Structure 1
C-alpha cells in the first residue's frame, strides 16, 4: 500500500495530479480545496520564516552553530555577521520573493475558466516544482542591487498593498458573520436545537465583548492620563451598541428577516480585540503617583518576567494568521464575488446548517476519483472553475505585503523584534483604530443598503 501511495504523491509533486493524504480514513477532498490549502501552506511557511528572522536570538544562534560564520558572511556579501539575513530588511526581501511568486501566477492564470487547460494544470499541480520556484524567488531577493533604494520603494508599495488587503480582510469578516447567521438560521426550520445554538453563541460573543470593554475600562484608563483610551473606548462601545440595536430594529427585520444579534456579536468581539490591540500598540504614558513616575494603562498582570507580554503577542499572532488565511482562502469563491449581493433575502434553497459551514459548500455533486490507496479526490472543476484563479493569487500577493508590514511593525521597523508585535507606535495605533471604524461601517452598509436600494435587493 505504501508504494502506490508514494507514487501518487510523486505525481502530485512533479505532475498534474491533485494532492491528497495517504490515509484512507481522511474525508474526501475537492481538488479546488486541496489546491488552495497547498498555496496557504506555502504562504504560512514563508510567514513563519519571516517571524523567525525578526527574532533577536537568530543571529546569535547562527554565529554559535555555523562554522566559520563571519568568514562565510563576508564571502556571501551578507554584511557583518550576516546582518542582511535577519531583521526587517530580510523580511522585506522574503516577502518580496513571495509576492513575486503569487504575482507571477496571478498573471499566468488570468482568464482561466476551467481546469482542463495547461495553465490550470500548472495551477493545480507540480507542487515540488512550484516550491522550488518559491524558494528561488525568496533567495534571489537577497541579491537585489541598490538595497537602500529598493527597501524605500518596496516599503511604500507594501503599505499600499497592506491597506488594500486589510480592507478585504474586514469585508470578509462581515461576510463571515452574515454567512454564519444565515447558515445556522436555515437549520431552525427543521431542528429547534439550531435556535438554541444561535442563542448560546450570541450570548457568549456579547459576554466576551462586554467583558473586554469592562477590562479595558478598568486597566487601560486612568483619571489623569490616557485620554485617547477613554474617548475611543466610549466611541467604539457606543457604535457596537448602535449596530446591534439597528440589526434587530423592525425596519431592518422587514427587509432582512434573518438579520439578528449573531452578526453584531461577531463584529463587536473583533472591534473590542482591535481596540485592545490599539491600546497595547500606543506608546506608554507615564504619570507621577506618590512622587514616583509610574507607567499607566498597560497590561496589568505582572509576573516579574516577559511571559505576560509573550502570551499577548502569541495570541495576537495566531489571530492575525487566522484572519489572513481565512481572507486568502475565502475571498475568492463565487459566494464571495459580490460583497453586498450575498445578503439578499433570497438565500439558496439548498442551504444546509452545518457546524463547520465555512469549510466549503457540499450542496453540489461532482464525480470523484480514487487517487490511489489514500484519500479520495473530487474533481469539481472539469466544467468550470469554482473560484477565480487570478484573483486568488492576487489576494495572496496582497497578503504577502500585509504580512511584511505587520511583522515589521509597519513604518516603525528600526530595532523591531517579533516579541514587540504589539508594542507601541502611533501609526499602528491609528491603523487599528481606523480599522475598527471601517469594520463597523462595512457592517452598517450591509444593513442599510437594502433600504437605500430596495429594488436591487428584492428576492
Structure 2
C-alpha cells in the first residue's frame, strides 16, 4: 500500500523537478542568447565561462579531489588535483579549438555558422561536458606530455599577447586624451586635467610601490628582490627619458609621459606582485607570516589573476590585430557579395554608406542603420538579421577564429599557473595561485619584456622613419 501511495507522489515530484529544471535551463539559455546577441555580450559570456572553469580548477587542486573521478585514491602528492586541473582546461581548450575551426572565415552574422559563436549555448555546454568526460578517459601520461610540450609554450605566448595589449592600450589611452585636448572643444580642459592627473597619479603610485618594496621585501639576504626592484627602477627611468627625448618626439609627436607612466605603474605592480608571490623560505616575504593577511592575499590575488586573464582574452578580441571586417573596409549586406574599396560596391552598399553618412550628420536617426527595408533582401534574410542588438550584421567586430585561439592559450596558461611546483600552505584552506620562485620570475621577466616592447614602439619610428609615417597615420 505504501508503495502504491508513494508511486504517484514520486511521479509528481519527478514531473515537477523535470519541469522546474527545464524552465531554469530554458531561462538561462534565453538569457545567454539575449546577452550574446551583441559582440561585447558574447565575449563577456566566454570570459565568465573561463572564470568559472578556472575557479573550479583552483578549488579541485586545493582540495586534491575530483567529483568526476569516483573511486580514485588520492595521495598527498596532489595527483588528483594536478590531473583534474589539466583535464578541465584541456576540455575547455579543445572546445575553443573546435569553435575556431568551425568559425574559420566567418565575416558577419549573416553567415549561418555565426550562430555557433553567438548562440547555441546549451549545445556548447553539452559538448563541453562530453569533452570533460572524454578527458577523464585519457591516461595521465598524455597530460604530462601535453603539459610539457603544449601548455607551457601556449602559456608563454599568452603572456606575450597580454603584454602587447598593455603597451597598445597605453598608447591608445594617451592618444585619445591628446586628441580631445587638441580639439579645443568644451571638454578639452577636462581631458587635459584627466591626462595630467592620470600621468601624475601613475608615477606617484610607481614611486610608492618602489619604496614599499625596498622596505618590506629587500632585506640584506634578499638578493633576488633587490635586483628585481633596482632593475625595475632603472627601466622606469630609461623609458621616461626616452619618452621625452626631442628626437623621439620629433619622429613620434604623440609619445610622452602618459604612455610611459602606465607602463611604469603596471610593471612596478608586476614586480611587487612577484615579491608577494614568492615563498618565505628566506624570510623575504612578510605577507605570508600573518594568517589573516595570508588568506586575504591568496583569495584576492587569485581572483585578480583570473580576472586579468579574462580581460586579456576579451581585450585581444577587440584589439585592431583581432578586428573583423568592420575595420578593414569590407562589409556584408544581405545577399550582396563582400566588397573591398569603392570599385566593387553594390547598390545596397552605396545605400548603406549614404545612410551612414546621413546618420553621422544628424539628418537621420541612428535606428535607420538597423532598418532592413533598404537592403532589398528577401523576407527570410531580413527577418534573420532583424535583431536590434546585432552589431555584426555588416561585418564581424573581431576575428572569431583568433578569438578562440586566444582563449585556448588562456586555458593552458591557467593549467600551468595552478599546477607548476605549487605546494600546500601551512596555514589556509586554499593553495595560492603561483606562490613559487618560478612564477615570481615569470612576473619579473614579464615586466622587463613589457619595458622592452614599449621601448621599441617609442624608438622604432626614429630608427625607421619611412615605415612609421605618423603624420599621415593620425
Q: Same fold (TM over 0.5)?
A: yes
1:301 to 1:384, Cα distance in 2 relative to 1, 3 A:
closer
1:44 to 1:395, Cα distance in 2 relative to 1, 3 A:
same
Residue number among 258, 262, 267 corresponding to 1:266 in the alignment:
262
Residue number among 78, 85, 96 corresponding to 2:72 in the alignment:
78
Secondary structure of the 1:35 match is helix
Residue 123 (structure 2) aligns with: 129
Secondary structure of the 1:221 match is coil
**Is 1:47 aligned to residue 58 of structure 2?**
no
1:448 to 1:83, Cα distance in 2 relative to 1, 3 A:
closer
Residue 87 (structure 2) aligns with: 93
- The TM-score, its normalising length taken from structure 1, stands at 0.75
1:153 to 1:321, Cα distance in 2 relative to 1, 3 A:
closer
Residue 320 (structure 1) aligns with: 305
Task: Compute the displacement of 1:368 (Å).
Answer: 7.6
> Which has the larger displacement, 110-119 or 162-171?
110-119
Residue number among 151, 164, 170 corresponding to 1:177 in the alignment:
170
Q: Are the aligned partners of 1:281 and 1:422 in contact in 2 as well (CA < 8 Å)?
A: yes
Residue 140 (structure 1) aligns with: 134
**Is 1:13 aligned to residue 13 of structure 2?**
no
Task: Compute the displacement of 1:283 (Å).
Answer: 4.2
1:374-413 pair list within 5 angstroms: 377-408=388-419, 410=420, 412-413=421-422
Secondary structure of the 1:54 match is helix
Q: Are the aligned partners of 2:418 and 2:434 in contact in 1 as well (CA < 8 Å)?
A: no
Unaligned runs of 5+ in 2: 1-21, 328-365, 373-386
Q: Are the aligned partners of 1:169 and 1:323 in contact in 2 as well (CA < 8 Å)?
A: no
Residue 167 (structure 1) aligns with: 160
Q: Are the aligned partners of 1:277 and 1:422 in contact in 2 as well (CA < 8 Å)?
A: no
Residue 353 (structure 2) aligns with: none
Q: Are the aligned partners of 1:32 and 1:386 in contact in 2 as well (CA < 8 Å)?
A: yes
Q: Are the aligned partners of 2:103 and 2:114 in contact in 1 as well (CA < 8 Å)?
A: yes
Secondary structure of the 1:387 match is coil
Distance in 2 between the 1:390 and 1:139 partners? 25
Unaligned runs of 5+ in 1: 1-5, 22-28, 63-71, 287-294, 343-362, 370-375
Residue 291 (structure 1) aligns with: none
Residue number among 177, 195, 208 corresponding to 1:198 in the alignment:
195
Q: Deviations over 1:402-441 (max 9, x none)?
A: 1111122x3x14658843325233x223222211111111
**Is 1:280 aligned to residue 292 of structure 2?**
no
Residue 16 (structure 2) aligns with: none
Larger radius of gyration: 2
Q: Deviations over 1:268-310 (max 9, x none)?
A: 1221122122223444354xxxxxxxx3x2135854xx22122
| Greater share of helix | 2
Secondary structure of the 1:208 match is helix
1:309 to 1:12, Cα distance in 2 relative to 1, 3 A:
closer
Superposed CA RMSD? 3.3
Residue 110 (structure 2) aligns with: 116
1:316 to 1:368, Cα distance in 2 relative to 1, 3 A:
farther
Q: How many residues align?
A: 386
1:321 to 1:176, Cα distance in 2 relative to 1, 3 A:
farther
1:25-44 pair list within 5 angstroms: 31-44=38-51
